[in-house]
Chains A and B, each alone.
Chain A
Amino acid sequence: MSTLPKDDCFYLARKAQALQLRAGFTEHLRRFFIQQGFLEVETPLRIPAPAPEEHIEPLPSGNWFLQTSPEICMKRLLAAGYPRIFQFCKCFRAGERGNRHLPEFSMLEWYALHCDYRKLMDQCEDLLISACRQMGRSGKIVWQNKTIRLSPPWERITVADAFSRYAPVSLPNALAGDRFDEVLVEHVEPNLGNDLPTFLFDYPAQMASLAKIKKDDPAVAERFELYIGGMEIANGFSELTDAREQRRRFEEALKAQAARHQVHYAMPEPFLASLENLPPCAGIALGLDRMIMILADTATIDDVIAFSPETL
């Protein structure tokens, strides 16, 4: 349904504050990385073979696909010796639309060589505290009637501990009953990051297709998610650098996707080849739109972008 020009002005004018927040916050994030010696890079949005992940569907673009994440190209840069890189980019995922989801959304992704997921949690904390302070948000933020303190250190809790603290079933039972996602969403997530931002870490190994397995516990992957006010903001991990293991996981994901959607995606071969050279490293993807939702105190992702798909 088309709107009249005056109404278009009305709806877009209502976004002015959020759009200003967005531009300002992005600038502070970028400055943090430049000060820390990171190189800003751009990788192609359109690629022949996205990283296969069971529950992420790419959107076709000609014979290729729009990226679901910049991960594989950025890791090829790391493997070539670029030690610290970051990127702001658009990512595309089919069928994802809700109060916190857009089929086209903005991601901030960064990687560092000789880093692991624990150091990355610290860095993520530093980044957000610093950028929030530059925006005049030091000490605390209020989001949807929750007052969240920003003072370090932020809370850190393992997935297993979070399940035993908040869920009616234990982590092993949830996994055995194929109810991990459901229990996480219904019982665990709403309790995370309501007082302090919270890192949920040490995911079950099968929930991390590109993360490294923990040396002293093969059931656990070195992966974490950051939650603020119960909302997932970022996902990071120590990167898997074992090409053979990565190929095995990709093959499994491709098989699952083929079974579910009758589609066959290609294997990202140049990426798998580059893993042979990849030193230990870690990387993280932060949902920029959601972080702006927190700062703008809104529960709807549409409020922090000028145009949602339905308005085009």
Chain B
Amino acid sequence: MYTASDLRKGLRLKIDNDPYVITEFNFVKPGKGQALYRCKLKNMLTGSQFERTFRSVDVFEPADLREKKMQYLYKEGDKFCFMDNETFEQVYLTQEQVGDAVNFLLDNIEAEILLFEDRPIGISLPNFVELVVTEAEPWAKGDTVSGATKPVKVQTGYTILVPTFISEGEKIRIDTRTGEYLTRVKG
């Protein structure tokens, strides 16, 4: 069981027999009052969302989800095809089920397919991915210690804001939960 202090963005809970993921999370605490945990929850099957405020005494049941390593093969129409490399079983996910993960999905990469009661319902990306910058405007030297950013394109076609010192061909680490730049990867 989870307690309220375990709540955070991305945590998966079982509510009324459906799996839910916390899509927005905020710790609030008025004046000298009690701690409250405001959550926006998304039903992982239907996509419907609701907001609820929990208290520190509340407890939660974890959602019983399984992940299975599969290889991303191709996109056909609005279906994404993945294959289990051991059983050669293929599964399909909709655009909706893939969601923002499409920004970080490279052909042939291994991805964790999320199963709820053996049904594929989504894709589970690692929190961090490393992608190569394929398009970037050159930037004047000597500008490294500033907070300025510029947009660049990575291998998947995703456009992301990065510090100005990043150049084409470099590898960067991205937080898949926020879609934001984290750090340059050396080597």
Show the binding face of A for B, using Cβ within 8 Å: 1, 3-4, 6-7, 9-11, 13-16, 53-56, 95-101, 180-182, 184-186, 189, 203, 207-209, 225, 232, 235
Contact = CB atoms under 8 A, between A and B. Distances in A.
Interface in B1-44: 5, 26-36, 38
Contact of B33 (A1, A55, A98, A99): A55
Nearest to A11: B147
B145 A3 contact: no
B182 interface: yes
B32 A208 contact: yes
B104 to A, nearest CB: 17
A98 B30 contact: no
B26 A6 contact: no
19 contacts: A1-B128, A4-B183, A7-B163, A9-B145, A10-B147, A13-B145, A16-B147, A55-B29, A55-B34, A96-B35, A101-B29, A182-B36, A182-B53, A184-B33, A185-B30, A185-B53, A189-B30, A207-B31, A232-B31
Given A7-B183, A10-B146, A208-B32, 14 more contacts: A6-B144, A7-B182, A7-B184, A9-B144, A10-B163, A54-B34, A55-B29, A56-B32, A96-B27, A99-B26, A181-B30, A182-B36, A185-B28, A185-B38
B22 to A, nearest CB: 14
Contacts of B128: 1
Contacts of B183: 1, 3-4, 7
A53 B144 contact: no
Contacts of B163: 6-7, 10
Q: Categorize the interface residue count of chain B.
A: 20 to 34
B167 to A, nearest CB: 12
B5 A207 contact: no
Contacts of B141: none
Given A9-B144, A10-B163, A13-B146, A95 B5 contact: yes
Nearest to A100: B28
B10 to A, nearest CB: 15
Contact of A101 (B27, B55, B147, B186): B27
B149 to A, nearest CB: 9
Given A3-B183, A96-B29, A185 B36 contact: yes
B158 interface: no
B75 to A, nearest CB: 31
Interface-central residue, B29, B55, B144, by most chain A CB under 10 Å: B29
A50 B78 CA distance: 60
A4 B186 CA distance: 8
B29 A97 contact: no
A225 B31 contact: yes
A198 B16 CA distance: 41
Contacts of B80: none
A180 B55 CA distance: 12
The 9 lowest CB-CB distance pairs between A and B, nearest first, are A98-B27, A14-B147, A181-B33, A10-B163, A13-B147, A7-B183, A9-B145, A3-B183, A55-B34
B165 interface: yes
A180 to B, nearest CB: 7
Contacts of B144: 6, 9
Given A7-B163, A96-B29, A98-B28, A181 B147 contact: no
Contacts of B32: 53, 55-56, 207-209, 235
Contacts of A6: 144, 163, 165, 184
Given A4-B186, A6-B184, A7-B183, A207 B33 contact: yes
A100 B165 CA distance: 31
A181 B145 CA distance: 44
A77 to B, nearest CB: 22
B23 to A, nearest CB: 15
A16 B146 CA distance: 9
A220 to B, nearest CB: 15
A98 B5 contact: no
Contacts of A97: 27
Nearest to B175: A1
